[in-house]
Amino acid sequence: MRVGDVLDRSFELLRREWRAAVLLGGVYVVGFVVLIGTYSVVFFRWVSELGPLDAGANPDPELLADSIAGAAGFVVSVVVFAVLMAFASLVLTGVSVRAAMHGPEEGTGWSELWGHLGPATIAGLRLLGWGILVGLGVSVLFVIPFVFLGLVVGTGSGVDGDAGVAITVLFTLGFVFVVFAASVAVGPILMAMTGLVYGREAGVWRSIGDGYRLVRRAYWPSVGATVIVWLFSLVPLLGSVLVTVLMPPFQVALIERLEAAGGEIG
């Protein structure tokens, strides 16, 4: 398997299933703009109503309570909206994956996209649930202890405060680098796994095993293709949108090319 073959097939599928890409990219862009716009308007309005407070000010308790309640409500609303937008993106990603994988036999028009909505929603719920559990597990087992250890090392190293802060920062940056390297290492497996969950309605755990069995047949080309797709995020202004709409056809192209290279699913 060659890296260029995977990328060529990804853009071929993207051109064929441009309708699904438009829906996914549109939801991503509109959601991001609405989220940032709402945050800016409500935040600055809240700040202006609260007014400047100096050290000797005694703000009206009722006004302060209303401001705190408004801030709390704003934070909750932003979190809820962000979760809804993330889930909508997950579902439309599934629609795009399924369109790329099943388009030839099920059609590529607008009406055919609705047929993928139900299975994509179920798969999105699976991935969202497991993603939350894995995120919490990683935070509890690795992130929080590692950062805490960095603070202990930095503050208890017997050096002055600035040096302790520097040690803590370097310790944390080292952890970030390890996480980044791990993400690159398992990235192709996650790409194949996601494509299998969406496109073939498989379970998450089974898809992880199947993704591993596929990727191990051509591991380094899979890593190279995945990293190149991620690098599209560096394109000014449109990078994140390009990666968002390209990822579903890339997952399908990766699975196709890995199976053609001799990879088998158990």
pTM of the model: 0.79
Q: What's residue 63's pLDDT?
A: 61
pLDDT tens digits for 79-132? 777 788 888 889 999 999 999 999 877 777 888 888 899 999 999 999 888 888
| Res. 228: pLDDT tops 90 | yes
Q: What's residue 55's pLDDT?
A: 46
Backbone dihedral region for residue 129 (phi beyond 0: left; psi -120 to 50: alpha; all else: beta): alpha
Q: Which amino acid type is present at position 34?
A: V
Lowest mean pLDDT among 72-81, 120-129, 178-187, 192-201: 72-81
Tell me the chain's radius of gyration from C-alpha atoms: 23
List the domain boundaries for the chain.
Answer: 3-260
- Residue 228's alpha-carbon distances to 188, 214, 257, 261, in angstroms, are 12, 19, 16, 20
Whole-angstrom distance, CA of residue 249 vs CA of residue 254: 8
**Contacts of residue 138, Cβ cutoff 8 Å, sequence gap at least 6:** none
Lowest mean pLDDT among 13-27, 125-139, 161-175, 226-240: 161-175
Share of the chain above pLDDT 90, in %: 37
**Contacts of residue 116, Cβ cutoff 8 Å, sequence gap at least 6:** 94, 95, 98, 99, 102
**Contacts of residue 260, Cβ cutoff 8 Å, sequence gap at least 6:** 1
pLDDT tens digits for 33-91? 877 777 777 667 666 655 554 444 555 666 666 666 666 777 777 777 778 888 888 99
| Res. 236: pLDDT tops 60 | yes
Whole-angstrom distance, CA of residue 244 vs CA of residue 1: 24
What's 54's DSSP letter?
-
| Other Cβ atoms closer than 10 A to 53 | 10
